[in-house]
Structure 1
Amino acid sequence: MNDQFLQNPDITESLVISSRRNFLKTIAGVSLLALGLPELSEAAIKRYPSHKTLAFQNAKTGDHLKLTYFENGRYLHDALHEINHLFRDVYNGSVHSIDTALIDQLYDLKTLMGIRKPFDIVSGYRSPHTNAKLRRRSHGVARHSLHMQGRAIDIRIEGVDVRTIRNAALSMRSGGVGYYPRSDFVHLDTGAVRTW
């Protein structure tokens, strides 16, 4: 800084007062943060766990899978590969990458509901060919279904009413939620927040 600037007593006093105020504000802020740290830490641990584990069973293939897919801040490549295979198109065996946001959505749903049972996969990835075939059979299959992008899943949980699953999924507001009580499943996707 310029020496003339510092030699002016009014300016120097103003800088000291300003610095003192900033210092006190900083101390006050740190103190408040320290007082709230246990709650903040607990919330951070719940939101950003060190590992994420899920269990699935595929209703059509009979395949079962329980695995940790996220650990120490990273997705585990081999685990995601296993999930991709489990979510495969059961009509032609084609495998597609599943959106990690969808997998996290399932983890968040499991955590919210406090369940330990596996998710029953009714429908995971669908190839465009399979989607077109299913559309010919049912008007409920969307032409541009997010199933074809690995961004949607249809699920149920043994012993849990699908209405309960739907309500929990709706409360998360993390994508589309479709409710199919007659077919006994809930659709989840990572598209826009919407419901049907």
Structure 2
Amino acid sequence: MSKSTSALITRRALLGAFAATTLTAAPVYANAFGFLRGAGDVRRIKMYSGRTGEKIDMIYWIEGEYIKESLKEVNYFMRDWRQNSAFNMDTRTIDIMSAAHNLMDVSEPYMLLSGYRSPQTNRMLRARSRGVAKNSLHMKGQAADLRLNSRSVGQIARAAASCAAGGVGRYSGSNFVHMDCGTVRTWGR
């Protein structure tokens, strides 16, 4: 066997092993704790934005390590589209979103309504609605407002709340759920 054939087989074997690990590790919940329950050994995030038309579907964490390049893409995707301003999202929020998604056992991506919010955007939204906090965790990259067509606000909120890792707000009238990595609390209907 030539050196290049040996390397090719090894590369194929590694890719096959990685694919098998990804498929078998994803549903493992037995050793998970707290908000990581449901995240598995591979964490993935799937979202789309109706505002920008962008989609994201990526593994951002494998076997205890965040993938920096993936997080950069998530940060850009979750940017304040009004200001075209990106921010480093708190990985705890991304983990809560991922775990809740896994617990609901859906393949549909989240629709991201709001991730990072610049202070300017937060002030503008606050002027339009009393439901926007003055010191919103969105401005710290610690919150996301999400929707799924295949699940109700109640179902999404229950999945997020079961992670017991942050705030979960139900906004049934606007058909979305707020998830953040702040103090554990719930609100809304």
Asked whether the two chains share a fold, i.e. TM above 0.5, the reply is yes
Residue 131 of structure 1 aligns with an amino acid whose one-letter code is N
Match of 1:54 in 2: 45
Q: 2:106 aligned to 91, 94, 115, which one?
A: 115
Report which structure shows greater RCO (CA 8 Å, sep ≥6). Answer: 2
Displaced runs of 4 or more, over 4 A: 45-48
Cα distance change, pair 159–42 in 1 and its aligned pair in 2 (3 A): closer
Name the stretch that deviates more: 97-106 or 163-172: 163-172
CA distance in 1, matches of 2:138, 2:29: 35
Alignment correspondent of 1:72: 63
Pair 1:90-2:77 in alignment: no
- The equivalences for 1:1-196 within 5 A come to 43-44=30-31, 47=37, 49-196=40-187
Tell me the distance in 2 between the aligned counterparts of 1:177 and 1:72: 27
- Percent identity, please: 40
CA-based RMSD of the aligned residues comes to 1.7
Q: CA-to-partner distance for each residue in 1:125-161, whole Å, 9 max, x for gaps?
A: 0001110111111111000000000000000012211
Amino acid at match of 2:171: Y
**Structure 1: segments with no counterpart, 5+ residues:** 1-40
Q: Distance in 2 between matches of 1:143 and 1:136?
A: 10
Q: CA deviation at 1:166?
A: 1.1
The normalised TM-score by structure 1 is 0.75
Residue type at the aligned position of 2:73 = E
- The answer as to whether partners of 2:108 and 2:150 remain within 8 angstroms in 1 is no
Question: 2: distance between equivalents of 1:187 and 1:96?
Answer: 18
Give the secondary-structure state (helix, strand or coil) at the position aligned to 2:125.
Answer: helix
Instruction: From the CA coordinates, give the structure whose radius of gyration is larger.
Output: 1
- For residues 97-125 of structure 1, the C-alpha deviation after alignment (integer angstroms, 9 at most, x for no partner) is 00100111011101211111101101110
Q: How many residues align?
A: 156
TM score, norm. by length of structure 2: 0.78
What are the superposed Cα offsets for residues 5-26 of structure 1, whole Å, 9 maximum, x if unpaired? xxxxxxxxxxxxxxxxxxxxxx
Higher percent of residues as helix: 1
